[in-house]
Amino acid sequence: MSESIQNGELAANFAQCISFCNISNENIDIEVKHSIETVISEVKVKNESEVNKKIINILSDELKIKEEIVIFEEPMCGDLIKHMRTHTLVKSYQCSHCDKVFSRNGDLIKHLRTHTGEKPYQCGHCKKDFSLKTNLIRHHKIHTGENPYQCNQCNKSFSQKGALINHQRTHTGKKPYQCSQCDKTFSLKYNLLRHHRTHTEENPYQCHQCNNFFSQKGDLINHQRTHTEKKPYICSHCDKAFTLKTSLLRHQRTHTGEKPYQCSQCNKAFSQNNYLKAHLRTHTGEKLYQCSQCDKTFSHNSNLIKHLRTHTGEKPYQCSHCEKAFSHKKNLLMHHRTHTGEKPYQCSQCNKDFSRNNALTAHLRTHTGEKPYQCSQCDKAFSQNNTLIEHLRTHTGEKPYQCSQCHKAFSQNSTLTKHMRTHTGEKSYQCIHCEKAFSLKHNLLMHHRTHTGEKPYQCCQCEKAFSQTGHLMCHMRTHTREKPYRCSPLPLG
């Protein structure tokens, strides 16, 4: 490109870009006045360098500037010189690796480090390396605690100007970055770039230990901690450690009780944003997540994942004490308490302890008499939902639990479990008084009474007491004279 063309483009665009440097600056002060015929400028330049002379000559010749030039000894504003080159479109520095071109040699040198991995700038405090000097300067502020950029609305301070600009959008709600594929908008360019990968399915970040790929660098860093078991984020309240900073922040709310996420419809507040999103679906009835095998829909992705295990039979949560496995983590935690004996839930009326919260809830109904689960077939009511489900099978005749050894079927899972012991001979309930063992807990309880002398079943007519309900029923027939068992005559031989 010839010098005259370059000069012409530079001058023609000067009127467009002069506002780039129209700020308070100790090195240059430019005031531009436009008229229809000519551009009249007063330019105060603080250097008599060759570069400055060249720019002055271009402006004089091409724009017919009536100029008043005062020469000083300090250099001219470097930002103006750099910016004016963007209008000339001269990109003479080409990368030998990827054919990318640059208007400045310095930009090419910086770009080449993305290929070579060179990081020549090292932090003197922590020895961290950087490819760009500007990144090192920003990093230094972490050590010095310097936050020179302050928000004029909430007085929050930041170490980087870009961080302040991003923060100010939380006040204005401005989202200048729009996705070209789905019109979704973002307040941060970084979030737009990450979002783009949901369309391109690009996964540029690879784990070198297991070859897993990730679309976000942060996801890769978090994943790598599963190999190292590193937990760098420690709670200051209870010393619990976390692999993710976000996990620590969420955990800390269990100490502070903070619930920053509030529902706009019912004012209910939540400690986590995903809890609020899930709650909002209870108002809208929206169910985004559909099972690919049975078309069942769910409002939460986590519920879909749990449901899919009913199809696959997957049980990823294994007990470290007894090799028993569970499809849900919650069930494993509850099972652990059978080993530890932990019963964290206590009844406020009788001080009875329970290992599960739902067991306490069901128990409380024995005090209140509440039976919220009603049978639609016979008006019988129950205090627990699972009891109602089992009862309904007496109407339908359904027996979904089948023995794998003799194919006998049962309406309740607990009945199948008891039946299986007739095949295995297992007697897991042992008497603490003698060494007798039983396959059923009920039989152990009845046996205990032979040691304690307890007789909880009393006749209402003669007050005689019995240790077992069957013995009471037999006794009652002495009062009613009922004889339910009839002898069948033997066939004549």
| Domains along the chain with CATH numbers | 3-88 (no CATH), 93-144 (3.30.160.60), 149-200 (3.30.160.60), 205-256 (3.30.160.60), 429-480 (3.30.160.60)
Residue, of 31 and 434, whose pLDDT is higher: 434
Query: At residue 62, does pLDDT exceed 50?
Result: no
From 86-95, 331-340, 396-405, 478-487, the region with the lowest mean pLDDT = 86-95
Mean pLDDT of the 388-412 span: 91
Spatial separation of the C-alpha atoms in residues 266 and 272, rounded to whole Å: 16
Tokens 């039976």 correspond to 371
Write the CB contacts of 328 (distance below 8 Å, at least 6 apart in sequence). Answer: 306, 309, 317
Q: What percent of the chain has pLDDT over 70?
A: 81
Spatial separation of the C-alpha atoms in residues 316 and 22, rounded to whole Å: 64
From 157-166, 215-224, 328-337, 399-408, the region with the lowest mean pLDDT = 215-224
Q: Residue 41 class from Cβ within 10 Å (0-12 exposed, 13-18 middle, 19+ buried)? A: buried
Spatial separation of the C-alpha atoms in residues 442 and 423, rounded to whole Å: 19
Q: What is the pLDDT of residue 54?
A: 47
Mean pLDDT of the 196-218 span: 82
* AA letter at 296: K
Spatial separation of the C-alpha atoms in residues 339 and 342, rounded to whole Å: 8
* AA letter at 355: S
Q: What is the pLDDT of residue 80?
A: 54
Query: At residue 27, does pLDDT exceed 60?
Result: no
CA 268-269-273 angle, to 5 degrees, is: 125
Q: Residue 55 class from Cβ within 10 Å (0-12 exposed, 13-18 middle, 19+ buried)? A: buried
Spatial separation of the C-alpha atoms in residues 465 and 404, rounded to whole Å: 42
For residues 132 and 110, is the Cβ–Cβ distance under 8 A? yes
From 1-10, 83-92, 427-436, 448-457, the region with the lowest mean pLDDT = 1-10
Q: What is the pLDDT of residue 216?
A: 78
Helices vs strands, H then E, count in the chain: 17, 31
Q: What is the pLDDT of residue 386?
A: 85
Residue 338, phi then psi, degrees to nearest 5: -70, -25
Spatial separation of the C-alpha atoms in residues 135 and 147, rounded to whole Å: 15
For residue 142, how many other CB atoms are within 10 A of its CB?
13
Q: What is the CA radius of gyration of the chain?
A: 40
Band (pLDDT 50/70/90 cuts) for residue 128 is: confident
* pLDDT single digits (tens) 224-252: 777 877 788 889 888 888 888 888 888 88
Output the CA–CA distances (angstroms, integers) from residue 163 to 156, 158, 394, in the order listed. Answer: 11, 6, 66
Helix boundaries (H) for 93-177: 105-116, 133-144, 161-172
Q: What is the pLDDT of residue 464?
A: 92
Residue 408, phi then psi, degrees to nearest 5: -70, 140
3-state per-residue secondary structure call for 359-415:
HHHHHHHHHHCCCCEECCCCCCEECCHHHHHHHHHHHHCCCCEECCCCCCEECCHHH
* Backbone region of residue 183 per phi and psi (left: phi > 0; alpha: psi in -120 to 50; beta: other values): left
Residue, of 24 and 367, whose pLDDT is higher: 367
Query: At residue 295, does pLDDT exceed 70?
Result: yes
pTM (global) more than 0.75: no
